[in-house]
Chain A
Amino acid sequence: MPTVYVNNQPVEFGAEERLNCVQAAQRAGVEIPHYCWHRALSVVASCRMCLVEVGQKKPDGAIAMQPKLIPGCQTPVTDGMVIVSDSDKVKAAQKATLEYLLLDHPLDCPTCDQAGECYLQDYSFRYGRGYSRLQEPKEQPPDKTYIGDQITLFTDRCILCSRCVRFTREISGTAELQIINRGNHAEIDIFPDEPCNNKLAGNVVDLCPVGALCSKDFLYKQRVWWLKTANSVCPNCSTGCSIFVDECEDRVYRLRPRYNPRAQGDFMCDEGRFGWKYVHGDERLHLPVQRDGGAAVSHDWDVVLPAARTALAEAAKRGEIAAVLSPWMTLEEAYLLVSYLKSLTSKLSLAVAPVRTVGEDDKYPKDVHGRTMEPTKFTIRAEKCPNRRGVEMILQHFAGSVMPMGDVLGRASSGAFTAMYLVGGDPQGWINEVQAAALDKVNTVIVQDILPSPASQRAKVVLAGGSFAEREGTFVNHAGLAQSIHRAIRSPGEGRPDGRILWDLAERRGLFSAAAVRREMADQVPALKPLLDAELGELGIKL
């Protein structure tokens, strides 16, 4: 195997692998500081932060070092290469580079949103000289508050790494951003009236290694060191981007993409990034409800859950039950619900709520005319739900086929069912007034949802569930990748995560544990066998 030596540590890499010095050093656990290089973007080697000493081991064992420092991001590693990143020469270069980058920098960290996750701070602390020798006035161009609807630019904080520019040229293809002027007057800017509003625009904020590009949505809302992070999956389309949910005191503040080569890669779209506001909407269902003849009689889980259980058991004795599952449920929740209802009766109709599709799959990069270019680097899918495939796998196993909700409602309006259990979850609504009218013919209607709907208004029992940020479980994306979501916050009011509701409804002992249900489910459903012994981990498992 080809071997490269990083600070005297041998690092092996595959013959076909193309690594640069920064990546090879990462494998050895050595950090080579870098600003302009990003694994998803082209290499420009402009910031000079990654300068290292490079040499070659000769067959006779002698090492010939190159006299100049070389940018590690631009230098592919070869067999027998020697990289030195901790010599005095390299350290002096790092100090000098940082001093230059900070010459005109305002250093307003206390009011900068990036503080705490800023690479200027981190690298200055680790590699910098700690103080400035500049005695001239700093160049401080004014801020540009409109780079896009969601993006603002603190021009003076920019270090001109050009990551944002390359992103709009290479990934979104829309090329709104550019560097204008020269020398120390160079600035990031847009063409007049051509704001950066493409559907991937929010990513430039994550890419910016300093506090220059900021998200207007998050600006000044919270200091990042108070945020706690949960690994999750964006529920807004079936691409299933891996994300971080950043939360503080039961409030979600932002979503960020989490690198996952098996799912989407490095980025996420703005629909997902900003599409979580309903989680804290006032209209969320806060309380469970039990109704008798239209009037609410109880809001207490200890009353409502047993009432639901008794009503279902009685209805099962009298006739047929139907359940409508939602493509927003996790695998575990779908499994818990179906196996519970199966245990009540064999006369069970299972359907899936409509999968909302909007337009067609939206592929990036695009050219200036909006035409998709090859190769595709990011796809926003038309299917706006996280787990259609997973829920259909459960239904296939238990019912043999996947019935659409319309069929079940059609039979309901002719009075075929004694009870119906409907699960919602789609924040944009999943049932309309006309469809819900069919529920008037059903004696016992139980609705589990996060927002009120025509169905929940007709329900005898409403179970206030949790949004994606409040639940544990597994989503299966469009390509069959099973990824786990984790609970970041508690549900508002008396709401409970759906897994817990179903666990308690089925009168299982102990507390709901997604991992335990996952194991049981994988044991029973052959299509989910790969989940049996494996840890889903951060990247998920292909089914």
Chain B
Amino acid sequence: MPINPKDVTWIKEPEIGFWEATFLPAIAKGLRITLGHVTDYRPVTQQYPEQRPVLPQHYRGVHRLNRDEKGRVKCVACMLCATACPANCIAIEAAAAPPDWPDRDKYPAEFVLDELRCIYCGMCEEACPVDAIELTHIYDMTGESRAAMVFNKDALLGIYDKTKDNPADPVRTARGRLGPASELKNLATLGPATTVERGDRAATAPSPGVIGAPPPETRNTW
């Protein structure tokens, strides 16, 4: 499509004056900045590993598999993380949950995550309906072989045990069973994925546009 001449604004190059044409003011300005840095003795280099960086809350490091309040793996082996994973680095072997877990149908008999293949995008954390997989602030994992960097279920649960008391990696949720996907302890109830019709009585409960959530004490029963 040709461009309408009306939409075009023509701008003139600014005229260069005498001093500008000599470049001397620009050189002086540049030198001032350089000298300013040379004479600034405040250190900027972080003395790693003696000093460790304070990372932002949303930093995405090595994964952990969370435990529920009974210490069991929270994961329900739905494989949604493996489905979302663009690097194809999660392999889960599902099995029927042990008979003494009455609240669960399914659990991961094995959960293998290849930390070398992972690109730390965090899609798995986002996909998980029970907040079982989370990315921690650990960024300095090392191993002596490739195989050592392929973490199994126990290794991933171990990272949870290591990080759960770290204020940077708070345990944000309190449940391991499915229902209204996953209960959020401190966050406000979110609206439904679809739009809510105006005048729908159910939609007017706590605040406009938000479905009435049952009172907190009954939330676990459905």
A: residues with CB less than 8 A from B are 106-108, 110-111, 129-131, 133, 135, 137-138, 143, 154, 219-221, 223, 225-226
- How many angstroms between the C-alpha atoms of A131 and B202 in the bound complex? 10
Q: Judge whether B206 is part of the interface by a CB distance below 8 angstroms.
A: no
Instruction: Say how far B215's CB is from chain A's closest CB, in angstroms.
Output: 10
Instruction: Say how far B75's CB is from chain A's closest CB, in angstroms.
Output: 10
- Contact in complex: B95, A131 (CB < 8 Å): no
Chain A residues within 8 Å of B201, by CB: 133
- How many angstroms between the C-alpha atoms of A143 and B79 in the bound complex? 22
- How many angstroms between the C-alpha atoms of A107 and B178 in the bound complex? 9
Q: Judge whether B124 is part of the interface by a CB distance below 8 angstroms.
A: no
For the complex of A and B, list the 3 residue pairs with the smallest distance between their C-beta atoms, beginning with the closest. A130-B194, A110-B78, A133-B202
- Contact in complex: A225, B222 (CB < 8 Å): no
Chain A residues within 8 Å of B77, by CB: 111, 220
- Contact in complex: A131, B105 (CB < 8 Å): no
- Contact in complex: A108, B105 (CB < 8 Å): yes
Q: Which of B78, B196, B202, B222 sits near A111, CB closer than 8 Å?
A: B78
Q: Residue of A at shortest CB range from B97? A: A111
Q: Residue of B at shortest CB range from A131? A: B192
- How many angstroms between the C-alpha atoms of A220 and B129 in the bound complex? 17
Q: Judge whether B123 is part of the interface by a CB distance below 8 angstroms.
A: no
Chain A residues within 8 Å of B193, by CB: 130-131
- How many angstroms between the C-alpha atoms of A219 and B105 in the bound complex? 11
- Contact in complex: A135, B194 (CB < 8 Å): no
Q: Which of A130, A138, A154 sits near B105, CB closer than 8 Å?
A: A154
Would you list 28 pairs from A and B whose C-beta atoms are within 8 A, ordered by A residue?
A: A106-B178, A107-B179, A108-B105, A108-B178, A110-B76, A110-B80, A110-B129, A110-B130, A111-B77, A111-B104, A111-B105, A111-B106, A111-B178, A130-B193, A130-B194, A131-B192, A131-B196, A131-B211, A133-B201, A133-B202, A135-B212, A135-B214, A137-B222, A143-B105, A219-B96, A220-B96, A223-B83, A226-B83
Q: Judge whether B150 is part of the interface by a CB distance below 8 angstroms.
A: no
Q: Residue of B at shortest CB range from A110? A: B78
- How many angstroms between the C-alpha atoms of A220 and B96 in the bound complex? 7
- How many angstroms between the C-alpha atoms of A106 and B222 in the bound complex? 8
Chain A residues within 8 Å of B130, by CB: 110
Instruction: Say how far B219's CB is from chain A's closest CB, in angstroms.
Output: 11
Chain B residues within 8 Å of A133, by CB: 200-202
Q: Judge whether B155 is part of the interface by a CB distance below 8 angstroms.
A: no
What range describes how many residues of B lie at the interface? 20 to 34
Chain A residues within 8 Å of B79, by CB: 223
- How many angstroms between the C-alpha atoms of A130 and B211 in the bound complex? 12
Chain B residues within 8 Å of A226, by CB: 83
Most buried by B among A110, A129, A130, A219: A110
- Contact in complex: A130, B192 (CB < 8 Å): yes
Q: Judge whether B46 is part of the interface by a CB distance below 8 angstroms.
A: no
Chain A residues within 8 Å of B94, by CB: 220-221
Instruction: Say how far A465's CB is from chain B's closest CB, in angstroms.
Output: 31
Instruction: Say how far B107's CB is from chain A's closest CB, in angstroms.
Output: 9
Instruction: Say how far A248's CB is from chain B's closest CB, in angstroms.
Output: 12
Q: Which of B83, B106, B202 sits near A220, CB closer than 8 Å?
A: B106
- Contact in complex: B83, A225 (CB < 8 Å): yes
Chain A residues within 8 Å of B104, by CB: 111
Q: Judge whether B39 is part of the interface by a CB distance below 8 angstroms.
A: no
- How many angstroms between the C-alpha atoms of A106 and B212 in the bound complex? 18
Chain A residues within 8 Å of B192, by CB: 130-131
Given contacts A131-B193, A133-B200, A220-B95, 8 further A-B contacts (CB under 8 A): A110-B130, A129-B194, A130-B193, A135-B212, A135-B214, A137-B222, A220-B94, A226-B83
Residues 71-118 of B contacting A (Cβ, < 8 Å): 76-80, 83, 94-96, 104-106
- Contact in complex: A111, B76 (CB < 8 Å): yes
Q: Residue of B at shortest CB range from A133? A: B202
- How many angstroms between the C-alpha atoms of A135 and B202 in the bound complex? 9
Residues 141-163 of B contacting A (Cβ, < 8 Å): none
Chain B residues within 8 Å of A111, by CB: 76-78, 104-106, 178
Chain A residues within 8 Å of B222, by CB: 137-138
Q: Judge whether B221 is part of the interface by a CB distance below 8 angstroms.
A: yes
Known: A111-B178, A138-B222. A131 touches B194 (CB 8 A): yes
- Contact in complex: B78, A137 (CB < 8 Å): no
Q: Residue of A at shortest CB range from B193? A: A130
Residues 184-217 of B contacting A (Cβ, < 8 Å): 192-194, 196, 200-202, 211-212, 214
Chain A residues within 8 Å of B178, by CB: 106, 108, 110-111
Instruction: Say how far A130's CB is from chain B's closest CB, in angstroms.
Output: 3
Chain B residues within 8 Å of A137, by CB: 218, 221-222
Q: Residue of A at shortest CB range from B130? A: A110
- How many angstroms between the C-alpha atoms of A226 and B82 in the bound complex? 11
- How many angstroms between the C-alpha atoms of A220 and B109 in the bound complex? 11
Chain A residues within 8 Å of B78, by CB: 110-111
Chain A residues within 8 Å of B83, by CB: 223, 225-226
Instruction: Say how far A420's CB is from chain B's closest CB, in angstroms.
Output: 45
- How many angstroms between the C-alpha atoms of A229 and B102 in the bound complex? 34
